[in-house]
């Protein structure tokens, strides 16, 4: 990642306040380097098209090239998306997972559909800034404000629905978050250079299942899919999740209803089958699936940093591309962490399954804060102190006193968690890593982490191990997953 950050942070050529080194960017485009997909976009003045760096098309002449820090910036400058490389479907920039500042938090919230549901005022309120200041910060970093960034996402959502469903175009317009059919038509023409109906290709075979959407979730290789599937399968809560060595299925709680998702990693992409009760939830569903599997990570950069420690080098070489399994619901992950204190994974699964409403053969979303608060004492099946902790957690989230959403301030989330009775550093750190998405969380007192450290010849004393882990910043969460695998 250091090479890419240098590329983006130094050199000549400024777009939207972001400096892009032209020579390095052009070399990446000329070599079709997929590592740069999502980091920047290539706009070609002679064609009016913008592409991802790895686009297989003939490399344009340097004098015809402009680089942009976001798809929204390229669209704002009047360029339309390449239909060959589909730059709107590129993996997201790893920066938005790593960064804990306002811009990073804003990007995570926009990808979760907050602007579509609450508008820019709602986004600004969540972040604690005025709309004007937020617009200024995003434009300076990304060459586009929150409305333009959300518009680019709506266009991608609309394209997916046009290509994968038989919904009418008017239905798609509102499902994708557009305020009117006219706005939808204008945006599709501007972004893709075609009217919406032209994007709908003739479909052979049976009609798609109502409410079912098939799509491919791109990622930066390598992806160690086995570790992801093993981790999720071991912790799958009956009634909510199912998993085997190749596929993970679960129910989702989304802003407009429930859904189920089936995720199958394959070379080059993760195949996703979504069944939505409301197609307006497509964008947040995709964002949460990407977050769950950590698909926007830059594994080459992470692995290179960890391999600098000789104790981890062999493990990294043996299993490149290990990701941090995160979550689709941070409240659910916090409940899991509280219940998982000092008991086995198998025992935690059994206790968690008692909280899930009976759904027969159907998978059911994990209960939300209000549903947990409504449960009778006997439904918890755990010591009273732990039950009280879960109720305090649910009450704080329901009241808005504790924010664990993708755009949460990570440090404040940890402070808020540790203020709850029965929540200590291990629980808060686990939620920070898997629920809030902190790539640099570490749990030196965890027994599995200490066993894994010992297996690799690292110190297993918590203080000494924590001191050694300072070398692995800002990727300590990834090191933690590797230590668990060694254990």
Residue 142 included in any domain: no
Domain boundary among 318, 352, 372: 318
Other C-beta atoms within 10 Å of 317: how many? 10
Other C-beta atoms within 10 Å of 159: how many? 23
Q: Which domain holds residue 71?
A: 2-87
Domain boundary among 280, 299, 318: 318
Q: What string of pLDDT tens digits covers the 487 residues of the chain?
A: 444 444 443 333 333 334 568 888 999 899 998 878 888 999 999 999 999 999 999 999 999 999 999 999 999 999 999 989 999 888 878 777 777 789 989 999 999 999 999 999 999 999 999 999 999 999 988 899 999 999 999 999 999 889 888 889 999 999 899 989 999 999 999 999 999 999 987 766 566 676 689 988 989 999 999 999 999 999 999 999 999 889 999 999 999 999 999 999 999 899 999 999 999 999 999 999 999 999 999 999 999 999 999 999 999 999 999 999 999 999 999 999 999 988 899 999 999 999 998 877 899 999 999 999 999 999 998 999 999 999 999 999 999 999 998 889 999 999 999 999 999 999 999 999 999 999 999 999 999 999 999 999 999 999 999 999 999 999 999 999 999 999 8
Domain boundary among 269, 296, 318: 318
Q: Tell me the CB-side half-sphere exposure of residue 65, using CA atoms within 13 A.
A: 24
In a 3-state reduction of DSSP, which class is residue 401? coil
- Among this protein's residues, is 296 annotated catalytic? no
- Long-range contacts for 16-20 (Cβ within 8 Å, ≥24 apart)? 16/68, 16/69, 16/70, 16/73, 16/139, 16/140, 16/141, 16/142, 16/143, 16/144, 17/139, 17/140, 17/141, 17/143, 18/69, 18/140, 18/141, 18/142, 18/143, 20/67, 20/69
Residue 418 included in any domain: no
Residue 112 included in any domain: no
Residue 119 included in any domain: no
Question: What pLDDT was estimated at residue 210?
Answer: 67
Residue 473 included in any domain: no
Tokens in use for 279? 């197609």
- Among this protein's residues, is 55 annotated catalytic? no
Compute CA distances 101 → 97, 106, 114, 411, 441, whole Å: 10, 9, 17, 11, 16
Q: Which of 112, 440, 446, 460 is catalytic?
A: 446
Between CA 333 and CA 335 the distance in angstroms is: 5
Give this prediction's pTM.
0.88
Domain count, the chain: 2
Identify the CATH number of the domain in which residue 55 sits. Answer: 3.40.10.10
Residue 61 included in any domain: yes
Strands 14-15 and 41-44 turn out to be unpaired
List, in order, residues 6 or more apart from 91 with CB less than 8 Å away.
37, 38, 218, 219, 220, 295, 296
Strands 80-81 and 49-51 turn out to be parallel
Q: Which of 21, 25, 51, 303 is catalytic?
A: 51
């Amino acid at each position: 990642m250091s090479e890419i950050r240098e590329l983006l942070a130094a050199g000549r050529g400024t777009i939207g306040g972001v400096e892009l080194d032209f020579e390095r960017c052009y070399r990446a485009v000329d070599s079709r380097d997929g590592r740069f997909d999502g980091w920047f976009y290539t706009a070609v003045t002679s064609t009016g098209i913008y592409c991802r760096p790895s686009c297989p098309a003939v490399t344009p002449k340097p004098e015809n090239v402009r680089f942009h820090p976001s798809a929204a910036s390229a669209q704002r400058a009047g360029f339309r998306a390449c239909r060959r490389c589909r730059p709107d479907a590129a993996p997201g920039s790893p920066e938005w997972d790593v960064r804990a500042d306002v811009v990073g938090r804003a990007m995570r919230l926009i990808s979760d559909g907050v602007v579509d549901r609450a508008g820019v005022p709602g986004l600004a309120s969540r972040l604690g800034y005025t709309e004007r200041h937020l617009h200024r910060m995003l434009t300076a970093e990304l060459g586009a404000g929150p409305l333009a960034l959300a518009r680019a996402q709506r266009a991608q959502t609309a394209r997916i629905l046009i290509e994968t469903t038989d919904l009418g175009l008017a239905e798609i317009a509102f499902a994708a978050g557009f305020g009117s059919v006219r706005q939808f038509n204008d945006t599709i023409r501007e972004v893709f250079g075609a009217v919406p109906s032209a994007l709908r290709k003739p479909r052979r075979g049976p009609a798609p299942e109502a409410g079912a959407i098939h799509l491919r979730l791109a990622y930066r290789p390598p992806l160690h899919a086995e570790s992801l599937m093993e981790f999720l399968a071991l912790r799958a809560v009956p009634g909510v999740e199912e998993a085997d060595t190749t596929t993970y299925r679960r129910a989702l709680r989304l802003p407009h209803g429930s859904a189920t998702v089936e995720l199958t990693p394959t070379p080059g992409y993760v195949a996703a089958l979504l069944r939505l009760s409301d197609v307006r939830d497509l964008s947040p569903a995709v964002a949460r699936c990407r977050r769950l599997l950590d698909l926007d990570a830059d594994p080459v950069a992470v692995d290179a940093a960890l391999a600098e420690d000789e104790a981890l080098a062999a493990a990294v070489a043996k299993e490149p591309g290990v990701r941090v399994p995160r979550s689709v619901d941070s409240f659910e992950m916090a409940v899991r962490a509280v219940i998982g204190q000092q008991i086995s994974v198998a025992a935690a699964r059994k206790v968690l399954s008692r909280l899930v409403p009976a759904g027969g053969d159907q998978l059911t979303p994990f209960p939300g804060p209000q549903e947990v608060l409504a449960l009778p004492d006997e439904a918890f099946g755990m010591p009273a102190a732990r039950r009280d902790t879960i109720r305090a957690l649910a009450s704080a989230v329901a009241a808005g006193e504790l924010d664990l959403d993708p755009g949460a301030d990570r440090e404040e989330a940890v402070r808020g968690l540790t203020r709850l009775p029965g929540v200590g550093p291990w629980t808060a750190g686990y939620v920070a890593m898997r629920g809030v998405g902190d790539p640099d969380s570490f749990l030196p007192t965890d027994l599995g982490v200490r066993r894994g450290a010992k297996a690799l010849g690292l110190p297993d004393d918590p203080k000494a191990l924590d001191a050694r882990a300072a070398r692995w910043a800002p990727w300590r969460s990834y090191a933690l997953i590797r230590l668990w695998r060694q254990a």
